[in-house]
Amino acid sequence: MATSFRTPLARARGLGSAKEGVHHWKLQRVTSISELLLEIWFVTQLIRMAGSGYSEWVAWFSSPINASLMSAWMISIFYHTKLGVQVVIEDYVDSRPYKIAALLALNLVAVALAVAAIFSIVTISLRG
Amino acid sequence: MALRTPEDAIVQAKRPISPHLQIYRWYASMMMSILHRATGIALSVALLLLVWWLVALASGPDAFDRVHSLAGSWFGLLVMFGITVVWAYHLLNGIRHLAWDAGYGFHPSEFRRTGVIVAVGTGILTIVVWIAFLIAR
């Protein structure tokens, strides 16, 4: 049997070949907290803006604070959603080729929609 | 493992497997745990609607008015009410999850109590948001 001279702590810090064992777990929590705050803000704004039409919403987005917070919310929510759906795929898609294809599709769709959302926010904001 | 004889196949077929959902008696805590994932999936679909709204707003007044008239129809309002319920549940149960992550609320009595708070809170939060929205309108 091979003797290891590494301490258990050093081995734990190495985290194996992945090097980021709790990264997914941690970011799922961090994004949940930022979403909690941003959604309380957004729902309040939705209530305040109730009954508004196109021009009122364009004016709302022209505020740099609103546009920035919306963008931050989109980054947070798409990251959180990507991580959540990823775990569902990993749990339920048994076949390895399908799993890899589904995870790849998830990443592409999540990034594409996040870019579409943020590009839209910037476009609306600059119109106002 | 490769099968050698028909007897092996029978033995393999009868081998006990890990019990899954259909084996257990359903109870509230289990239901709530599964609902957290189900509401998460529903919210990822709702996110598509939010992106649709943003893209419509960026596209101009015509596209925006089409989305708004659809959202204002009885079907649109029903979908948005459903999204509010699902969102309220995932938000409140998510706070419960954060408390567990911090090491709180594992005692069975606390577990049940926070479960009831989330269930009742989902109803209250949904109703408060909609009443506020309808009054503001």
Residue of A nearest to B50 (CA): A117
What pLDDT does B27 receive?
81
- Are residues B48 and A113, on separate chains, in Cβ contact within 8 Å? yes
What pLDDT does A2 receive?
66
Residue of A nearest to B100 (CA): A29
Cβ-Cβ contacts under 8 Å, A77 against chain B: 47
Which of B44, B55, B133 has the CB atom closest to A85's CB atom?
Answer: B44
Which of B51, B61, B94 has the CB atom closest to A32's CB atom?
Answer: B94
Domain ranges for chain B, please list them: 25-136
More confident: A71 or B6:
A71
What pLDDT does B32 receive?
92
What pLDDT does B121 receive?
98
Closest-CA residue to A62 (of B58, B132, B101): B58
- Per-residue pLDDT band at A23 (split at 50, 70, 90): confident
The pair of three-digit structure tokens given for residue B61, joined into one six-digit string? 């007044």
Kindly tell me if the per-residue pLDDT of A20 is higher than 70. no
pLDDT tens track for A63-105: 999 999 999 999 999 999 999 999 999 999 989 999 999 999 9
Which of B48, B65, B134 has the CB atom closest to A54's CB atom?
Answer: B65
Residue of B nearest to A82 (CA): B44
- Are residues A124 and B57, on separate chains, in Cβ contact within 8 Å? yes
- Pick among B33, B44, B135 to test the A interface (most A CBs inside 10 A): B44
What pLDDT does B29 receive?
85
Q: Answer whether B39's CB lies under 8 Å from B84's CB.
A: no
What pLDDT does B122 receive?
98
Residues on chain A bordering chain B, Cβ-to-Cβ distance under 8 angstroms: 29, 32-33, 36, 39, 43, 46-48, 50-51, 53-55, 57-58, 61, 77-78, 81, 84-85, 88, 113, 116-117, 119-121, 123-124
Average pLDDT over chain A, rounded to whole? 91
What interface predicted TM-score (ipTM) does this complex get?
0.85
The CATH number given to A20-127 is: 1.20.1300.10
Global pTM reads 0.85
pLDDT tens track for B25-82: 888 888 999 999 999 999 999 999 999 999 999 999 999 999 999 999 999 999 999 9
The domain defined by B25-136 folds into 3 helical TM bundles of succinate and fumarate reductases (1.20.1300)
Domain ranges for chain A, please list them: 20-127
The secondary structure of A57-97, three-state, reads HHHHHHCHHHHHHHHHHHHHHHHHHHHHHHHHHHHHCCCHH
Cα-based distances in Å from B26 to B21, B30, B109: 9, 7, 18
Q: Answer whether A71's CB lies under 8 Å from A77's CB.
A: no
- Are residues B136 and A88, on separate chains, in Cβ contact within 8 Å? no
- Per-residue pLDDT band at B13 (split at 50, 70, 90): low
B120 to chain A nearest CA, in Å?
19
Residue of A nearest to B52 (CA): A117
Which of A47, A77, A116 has the CB atom closest to B132's CB atom?
Answer: A47
Cα-based distances in Å from A3 to A7, A12, A15: 11, 17, 19
